[in-house]
Amino acid sequence: MEMKRRPTTNSRNAVQRYAHICGWGTSVPERVLTNHELARMVDTNDEWIVARTGISQRYIANGRETTASLGTAAAREALDIADVTPDDIDLIIVATSTPEHHFPSTASLVQDALGARNAGAFDMLAACTGFVYALSIAAQAIQAGAMNTVLVIGAETLSKIVNWEDRGTCVLFGDGAGAVVLQGSDSPGGVLASLLRSDGSGGDLLKVPAGGSAMPASYETLRDNLHTIHMNGREVFRFATRVMADACRDVVAAAGLTMDDVDVIVPHQANKRIIEAAARGLRLPIDRFAINLDRYGNTSTASIPIALCEAVSEGRIRPNDNLVLVAFGGGLTWGATVVTWDVTPKATVTGLHKMRRQALYSVARMRSIVRRGARAIEGTIWGAQAPDGIEPPHREKD
Ligand code: UT7
């Protein structure tokens, strides 16, 4: 069985680079919302939610817990395990459907909170498939030799865009974040292959209609609840069951493996029945899938990294295991990645280790405050004066 690619050399005699996951972490809000509590808010009940989705509870962010703060906390955990400092990071990608703003990107806010002074940062919008997209792009940047250390985060506060009066959607979603650190290495393995797909003709099936340039915020959009998730659940269900198994099969073949070589599948945690359908489609036992949606609900881009981290901490994922990460979501989008889990954690995270890191983050916070202050002073000194060579705009008189 050919499990891993061997190092090869290209025409310039450079050793091929591989992108390995070397750190992982999660963060969820403090507050748990159970099905029983939901049943007091909308016309639903625990039996229906468990039977139709598999979900029993989800985490809900409070006012202080945001997409950036959850993403930053998950990232710090991942950096600890990877024994990577913020200055080592070349790029931060935050996959999210609930960014803090249209801009600045949530990734830039995370970059500032971490004090990652040498990193580029951007958000990835591919709905629930975002983490798989981001992981694939990150791996390719490393494999191409352009980057060495990339932080990939899936972070969501979906509770802020859920219509809490719509029982068809509000029972499904939860908040949380998961992160991985990818690093380049000459040793074969890591991210082996990815498959990314989209079918925009199904865009209307799962969308937040207003708040973008197509439908800017107005009194009417607020009145009609158009800033919340609108979904045709049955159609999304049908689409998901169609694409999950095919995506797994195709990406595993692209990695030069067979389904027998796959040890664990980490699917997007949307609905247990969708995962069961994928298992049937692949003729695999359900215990080959990492499932934790009963406790988290659907956390969109965060669902795969959270499930991955749990499977690692439970010992379900072991060194040299081949994993398939597979997701689907709004867009419509879907995608899958094959990863060989072949890097053991570099660092044992001790108290001292944590304190040293904490000091780094405190310095980052101070640096950010000083920068903001300096910018404000600069603005006051220079006032309305235009930068050299740029004339202030003027309006023609009517
Ligand atoms: O990340 C991707 C995000 N989206 C998804 O993955 C969603 C995929 N779709 C699904 O997971 C399922 O379609 C749902 C869980 C959303 C719905 O399950 P379903 O088995 O497809 O139910 P349904 O929409 O066909 O509705 C069946 C019945 C309806 O009542 P009637 O018309 O048969 O009287 C619904 O009104 O269930 C009713 N219903 C509920 N009843 C109690 C819908 N939501 C609820 C609810 N509690 N929360």
Residue nearest to atom 14 of ligand 1 (CA): 233
Q: Is 45 a catalytic residue?
A: no
* Confidence tier at 213 by pLDDT (50, 70, 90): very high
Tokens of 126: 């591919």
In a domain, 80, yes or no: yes
pTM: 0.92
Look at residue 179 and tell me if it is in a domain: yes
Residue 2: which pLDDT band, with cuts at 50, 70 and 90?
Answer: very low
**Domain of 160?**
18-341
For residue 330, give the ligand 1 atom closest to its CA: 2
Residue 378 lies in a domain: no
Q: What is the pLDDT of residue 3?
A: 44
Q: Are strands 120-124 and 91-95 parallel, antiparallel or unpaired?
A: parallel
**Any catalytic annotation for residue 292?**
no
Determine the Cα–Cα distance for residues 317 and 266; give it in Å rounded to an integer: 10
Check 170, 268, 271, 322 and give the catalytic one.
Answer: 268
Is 61 a domain residue? yes
CB of 271 closer than 6 angstroms to any ligand 1 atom:
yes
**Catalytic residue (choose from 20, 22, 128, 292):** 128
Both structure tokens of 14: 């450079």
Output the CA–CA distances (angstroms, integers) from residue 369 to 34, 112, 274, 372, in the order listed.
39, 10, 46, 5
Asked whether residue 370 is domain-assigned, the answer is no
Element (H, E) at 60: strand 57-60
For residue 189, what are its two tokens? 């393995």
**78: nearest Cα among 178, 191, 183, 189:** 178
Residue 156: inside a domain: yes
Instruction: Count structural domains, the chain.
Output: 1
Look up 170 and say whether it is catalytic: no
At residue 147 the predicted structure's pLDDT band, cuts being 50, 70 and 90, is: very high
Mean pLDDT (the chain) is 92
Confidence check: pLDDT of 383 > 80: no
State the CATH number of the domain containing residue 302: 3.40.47.10
Residue 366: inside a domain, yes or no? no
Phi, psi angle pair for 368, to nearest 5°? -65, -40
3-state secondary structure 64-115: CCCHHHHHHHHHHHHHHHHCCCHHHCCEEEEECCCCCCCCCCHHHHHHHHHC
Instruction: Tell me the two tokens of residue 7.
Output: 């190092």
Please, what is the Cα angle at 257 between 255 and 259, to 5 degrees? 120
Chain-centre distance for alpha carbon 347: 24
Rounded distance from Cα 231 to ligand 1 centre (Å): 10
Q: Which residues contact 293 (CB under 8 A, 6 or more apart)?
A: 53, 54, 55, 269, 270, 271, 272, 303
* β-bridge mates for residue 154, sequence order: 95, 178
Share of the chain above pLDDT 90, in %: 85
275: Cβ below 6 Å to ligand 1?
Answer: no
Residue 290 lies in a domain: yes
